[in-house]
Structure 1
Amino acid sequence: MKGLRFGSKIVFVINSLVAFLLLISYILPYIPPKSFATLSVLSLGVPLLILSNLLFFIFWLLRVKKQMILSLVVLLLGYNYISSMYKFSGASKVEDDANFSVMSFNVRMFNKFNWLPEPIDKEHIVKILADENPDILCLQEYPRGERVEIVGYDSFNAKYVKGIKGGQAIFSKFPIVNSGSLEFPNTFNNAIFADIVKEKDTIRIYTFHLQSSGINTDVENLKNETSGHLFKQVGATFKMQQDQVALFLAHKEKCHYKTIVTGDFNNTAYSYVYRKIKGDDLVDTFEEAGNGFGRTFDFKFFPMRIDFILADQDFTVNGFKTYDVKLSDHFPIKTTLKLH
């Protein structure tokens, strides 16, 4: 740090810490939360770490200082992270008669308890979903007591089903020939699946809502939380998510149909649970055809993408859209697929 003024030295120390944290985050998808729960929490802050390193790089570049190399190298090492966070040019939707669409949305109980200040209700949300007219619609935080019926769809878990938790529902324009639930222990969360028949093909659709930390994301409420409590609570949540994903993977392994996985992961694309769910056989439809940050959760600090539609590699991704509509604390997403 020779030749730097005192203030610039302080900036570089902070820069070094931020670069180190981003570098550490690159290995987080390979570390089970049960092995190092506190460290796994860092995956939530990856977008902020990327943006911070980018700003540090620009800061030193404008001053023509060699210190810019630190953040530049760390960013280049994580190029895949950057491309996952922001898509500079989404692929144009490819029209094809064989296309079909899959939409996923956490409806947050249709604003039942008036979290949103706007007059948003079930009828308003259902009308928008029906107007979008997806071939397959997957909903999370769906209250079966607020039963939804959409003309032209078969459905599973949209009304009371004995022995199966509420919270998730699948609607399909294609016939549903089989369905069921994976009941996660010690939680209200679960995963459901439906086998649908499109022409001569049977396709397995999963949708789930992984464990939530329960932390209020409102800025004023966050100020009252200690960092130690936040890390402990989120770390415990990620441990539960690891168990839930293990149950899902064991179930999915027995399925020989082409598969589409949707839902609210309550975690980012830089996490262990995302890597395990995606595996080697699924593709992230946002990464294939999305645009921009693709944020799916209304978080004030930085764009967060925690809702996903993952599709078997036997599908071609011909389009992806994130809806900028304030109907929940999440934003709907939809992909257009074609079976090879």
Structure 2
Amino acid sequence: MGRLITFSGHAIALVTAFGLLARYVSPHTFWPPSVVALLLPILLLLTFLFVLLQLFRGHWRTAVFPLLVLLGAYPILGRLFAWPESAPTLTDDSPVVTLVTGNQRFFRSADGADVDTTRVARTFRSYGAHIALLQEIRTVTYRINYIPQVQSAEHLRERDQKKGTLVATYGTSPEHITSSFSEPNEYNGFVVTDMMTSLGKLRIINAHLETNRISNLAQNMGGKDSFGDRLETFGRMLTGYGRATRVRAQQADTIRALVEASPYPVIVGGDFNDVPSSYTYNQLLTPRLRDAWAARGSGLGTTFTGPLPGLRIDYFLVDTSLTIVDIERLSPQWSDHRPLRLTVTK
């Protein structure tokens, strides 16, 4: 039994070390570590428990390798499990800007029905946001597009949304700068908007990076499918995930260049479809930006509530020239993503 425990612990530590490569290795070169990175929080926990067990048993030598793996993970622990910094001190006249981001899943509830328009209007007014970064929203071609309901909020009366795309930034007097979307459906991509605020002009990058498209496959695995069918489905999931990680890596490189070239403070937000241990995240988190959840959040910060739970894939990355006052996860309402609300000041 002791040998089995040791073998299993070392195997888990080895897989964990493989997943830790994800943030360094471009998916264009080698994408499998990005799959393991999805499971890093639980893998690190199991590795830590194995180290404790071996130390308790007095098996010091067998604890060396997994302990080295844990030390290698130390730089990203604050991304995977946030411990908030002390809150900044604000005066009554301190200017602040509040932003909200959320994947709206086309304003459809879990059963596929359209969400009540009154509920949508009430929800967006309750956010109290000056700027909203929305993904998977409807275009003007829909009979019920929910644009008036979002614009019923005091500060969200104008929007920047390229025709035919499903990403929109709402605020006051938005100035469109550029946008980029995946062909041919313009479903995934990003839009860059300058917004005048009480903190001066801010450059807002609203991103819905390439979707993995594995949720439906994950839901369908099981039931009466044979083992061969499940194996085939799992293979399609891996192939699709590998393709998506490569696209996201390219999108991240493009956004990184835009951040570095911006003449104004930048806030990048949205649905990145990737975890904090990924190459995509590592590329987006330039020296100029801070992860708002890692700085002021608490715990794992899970934002995805779908069939692959426990994932933090929605973010706010904030220019270091701005001070992060607060960030919180909001109730998911009609989507399988939890919105984030961020408050910043100078």
- Band of TM-score, shorter chain: 0.7 to 0.9
Question: Which moved further from structure 2: 303-312 or 122-131?
Answer: 122-131
Is the Cα–Cα contact under 8 Å of residues 179 and 192 in structure 2 kept in the other structure?
Answer: yes
Matches of 1:328 and 1:322 in 2, distance apart?
13
Shift in CA distance, 286/29, structure 1 to aligned 2, threshold 3 Å? same
**Compared CA separation, residues 210 and 24, structure 1 to 2 (3 A):** same
Task: Tell me the CA shift for residue 136 of structure 1.
Answer: 1.3
Residue 52 (structure 1) aligned with residue 46 (structure 2)? yes
Please report how far the alpha carbon of residue 58 of structure 1 lies from its aligned counterpart in structure 2 after TM superposition: 4.0
Q: 1:53 to 1:9 in 2, by over 3 A?
A: same
Amino acid at match of 1:323: L
Residue 275 of structure 1, CA deviation: 1.1
Look up the equivalent residue of 1:16 and give its one-letter code. Answer: H
Match of 1:103 among 100, 104, 108: 100
Q: Which moved more, 1:129-138 or 1:144-153?
A: 144-153
Q: Which 10-residue stretch deviates more, 84-93 or 309-318?
A: 84-93
Q: In terms of mean alpha carbon deviation, does 181-190 or 45-54 score higher?
A: 181-190
Tell me the residue number matched to 1:16: 10
TM-fit CA distance, 1:72: 3.3
Report the CA distance between 1:248 and its aligned residue.
2.9
CA distance in 2, matches of 1:280, 1:54: 30
Name 2:167's counterpart in structure 1: 168
2:301–2:312 CA contact under 8 A, matched in 1: yes
Answer yes or no: is the 8 Å Cα contact 2:23–2:277 preserved in 1: yes
Shift of 1:262: 0.5
- Structure 2's unaligned 5+ residue stretches are none
Q: Is the 8 A contact 1:176 1:195 kept in 2?
A: yes
User: Among the aligned pairs, what percent are the same residue?
Assistant: 21
Say if 2:33 is the partner of 1:39: yes
- CA shift in 2, pair 1:265/1:336, >3 Å: same
The secondary structure found in structure 2 opposite 1:15 is: helix
Q: Report the CA distance between 1:179 and its aligned residue.
A: 4.2
Count of matched residue pairs: 326
Report if aligned partners of 1:91, 1:319 keep a CA contact under 8 Å in 2. no
Q: Following superposition of structure 1 onto structure 2, how do residues 67-146 of structure 1 map, counting pairs within 5 Å? A: 67-89=62-84, 91-92=86-87, 94-96=89-91, 97-111=94-108, 114-116=109-111, 120-144=115-139, 145=142, 146=145
Corresponding position: 1:150 with 2:147:
no
Cα distance, 1:330 vs structure 2: 0.5
d(CA) in 1 for partners of 2:78 and 2:107?
33
SS at match of 1:142: coil
Other structure's SS at 1:41 match: helix
Asked whether the 8 Å contact 1:155–1:169 carries over to 2, the reply is: no
Deviation, 1:326, is 4.3
The 8 Å contact of residues 209 and 263 in structure 1, kept in 2 or not, is answered as yes
Give the corresponding residue for 2:188.
189
Q: Structure 1 residue 93: deviation in Å?
A: 7.0
Q: Which moved more, 1:188-197 or 1:294-303?
A: 294-303
Identify the residue that residue 4 of structure 1 maps to in structure 2: none
Match of 1:239 in 2: 246
- Would you say the 8 A contact 1:278–1:284 is kept in 2? yes
Give 1:328-339 correspondences, 5 Å limit: 328-339=335-346
Distance verdict in 2 for CA 1:326–1:154, change over 3 Å: closer
Q: Once the 2 structures are TM-superposed, how far is the Cα of residue 30 of structure 1 from its aligned partner?
A: 1.7
Tell me which amino acid in the other structure corresponds to 1:74.
Answer: V
Amino acid at match of 2:310: P
Deviates more, 1:283-292 or 1:64-73: 64-73
Matches of 1:200 and 1:324 in 2, distance apart? 28
Superposed CA offset, 1:152-182 (max 9, x none) = 2242246xx5xx332111112x432344422
Which of 237, 254, 261 is 2:268 aligned to? Answer: 261
Offset of 1:189 from its aligned partner? 1.5
CA distance in 2, matches of 1:228, 1:11: 29
Q: Distance in 1 between matches of 2:169 and 2:212?
A: 24
Q: Distance in 2 between matches of 1:165 and 1:118?
A: 22
CA RMSD of aligned residues (A): 2.6
Q: Gaps spanning 5+ residues in structure 1: where?
A: 1-6
Describe the superposition over 1:265-317 as per-residue Cα deviations: whole angstroms up to 9, x where unpaired.
10111111111111111100001100121001015665210011001110111
**Structure-2 residue corresponding to 1:27:** 21
Distance 1:271 1:251, change over 3 A: same
Alpha-carbon distance in 2 for matches of 1:65, 1:326: 50
Query: What TM-score, normalized by structure 2, do the two folds share?
Result: 0.84
- Asked if the contact 1:87/1:291 (under 8 Å) is kept, the reply is yes
- Distance apart, 1:318 and its partner CA: 1.2
User: 1:111-158: per-residue Cα shift (whole Å, max 9, x none)?
Assistant: 1xx425899545424422321211211111111231322242242246
Change (3 A) 1:247 1:184: farther
